[in-house]
Amino acid sequence: METEQTRAPHRIGEFLAVLTERPVSLHAAAVLRIGYGLLYLVFLLREFPHRDEIWGPGSPWTPELARQLFDQTGWASILTLSDSRAYFEVCYALALVTSALFMLGWRTRAVSVLFAVVVGSFHARAIFMTDGGDNLILLMALYLVFTACGRRWSLDARRTSLRASAGTTPRTPMALGAEELCRFRRTLTAVLHNCGMFVIAAQVCFLYGSAGLYKVQGGSWGNGTALHYVLNLDLFRPWPELSLMVDEHDVMISIACYLTVLLQVAFPFVLFGRLKYPVLTMLLGMHLGIAVLMGLPLFSGAMIIADAVFLPDRFYRSLGRLWRRTCRRPDAWSTGVPPGGGPALVPSQSVPSSN
């Protein structure tokens, strides 16, 4: 009969095998790559008319002031290497292209490093003009450098699949040293990826947990009035009429306050069961409310994408199968063949005999 003393080494061996032999949550990593690449691309496009005032040579926070701050904080930015307007425009175009290529998953290993440099450079250049969302994007961009986020839903994955189907993958015998090197490379990739995904999950848990515990200490969250004051801040009211309309429902505001604190404090403890699905759904609604009512779409988008790390690969595979069935359904009905494969129902046509 197996005892705890013999079971513990077995579990440790299984854990080490998973850690070193295969990357986990590859679909979730791909969602993070696509989400943050798209989000930062949209962010740069949205601020394109104001790029010079925020990051360029014409900014009130001049490149010289930024360099003086870097001497104290240790930050760095490629945008301050030159005060030339042409250089800034080239850097901005490079940032747009890098974000698009990272989202598409083209040469992901190299492009992920460029994406982290771009996000870090733009964040450091205008460090006093942040809303919290770009802080999280910067952290995630750094973490994703260590993951195999280009293995799924990417141009790299498509290229690998085409090569495998065409039989162009080289199968020449390898020397013993080369085979050992390949094995070491696969192990290193798996370890870095799994550790990177673990750090991302831990970062999100720490963010929610600390935010919830901080709210518990405040009296306004305890008596259910915190959101009332938030909805009346002029700085965070893009649509004052909508904020006032929501603020009229006192009971709903109090319930939302208590539910927000409960979700954030309990979040790290519900990740290993099915309860995480309704919790993630409610958090999705909370972030959408923040984006609309407080005018913080970058922060909300960064949080929604980060929550995707807790969804297993089978969830994304089931979504892919559902998407493929949905895409095939209109074609099936247009040809008179229902999706279930039953007899065609075409009232205006007669089916010719097979004789």
Q: Contact at 8 Å (CB) between 143 and 112?
A: no
* CA atoms of 301 and 320, how far apart (whole Å): 22
Element (H, E) at 33: helix 26-46
pLDDT band at 174 (very low <50, low <70, confident <90, very high): low
* Each residue's pLDDT tens digit, 137-170: 999 999 999 999 999 999 999 999 998 888 765 5
> Model confidence at 343, in pLDDT bands (50, 70, 90)?
very low
d(CA 199, CA 221): 29
Render 114-175 in DSSP notation, one character per residue. Answer: HHHHHHHHHHHHTTTS--SHHHHHHHHHHHHTTS-TTSSSSHHHHHHHHHHHHT-S------
**pLDDT of residue 234 exceeding 50:** yes
Taking CA atoms, 234 is separated from 240, 272, 298, in Å, by: 8, 40, 19
- The pLDDT, as a whole number, for residue 235 is 85
pLDDT of res. 1: 46
User: Mean pLDDT over residues 21-28, rounded?
Assistant: 90
d(CA 136, CA 34): 15
Query: How many Å apart are CA 112 and CA 242, to the nearest integer?
Result: 39
Give the closest residue to 292 by CA, choosing from 254, 250, 245: 245
Residue 344 has pLDDT above 70, yes or no: no
Mean pLDDT for the stretch of residues 187-204: 94
Q: Which residue has the higher pLDDT, 6 or 287?
A: 287
Select from 186, 196, 193, 256 the least CA-distant residue to 221: 256
Instruction: State mean pLDDT over 272-287.
Output: 91
Radius of gyration of the chain (CA): 25
Which pLDDT belongs to residue 332?
A: 47
Q: Percent of the chain scored above 90 by pLDDT?
A: 63
pLDDT of residue 272: 80
- Give the 3-state secondary structure of 195-221: HHHHHHHHHHHHHHHHHHHHHHCCHHH
pLDDT of residue 173 exceeding 80, the answer is no
pLDDT in the model for residue 242: 93
- The reported pLDDT for the residue numbered 108 is 96
What gap in Å lies between CA 337 and CA 331, rounded to an integer?
A: 9
CB-based contacts of 239, cutoff 8 Å, min separation 6: 292, 293
Kindly tell me if the per-residue pLDDT of 337 is higher than 60: no
Distance of CA 27 to the CA centre of its chain: 11
Upper half-sphere CA count for residue 21 (Cβ side, 13 Å): 6
pLDDT one-digit tens code per residue, 110-136: 999 999 999 999 999 998 888 888 899
- What integer pLDDT is reported at residue 265 of this predicted model? 92
Amino acid at 333: W
Phi, psi of 311 (to 5 degrees): -90, 130
List the structure tokens of 252.
């709903």
112 or 9, greater pLDDT: 112
Segment 242-260 shows an average pLDDT of 93
Tell me what pLDDT residue 353 has. 41
Side chain identity at residue 318, one-letter code: S
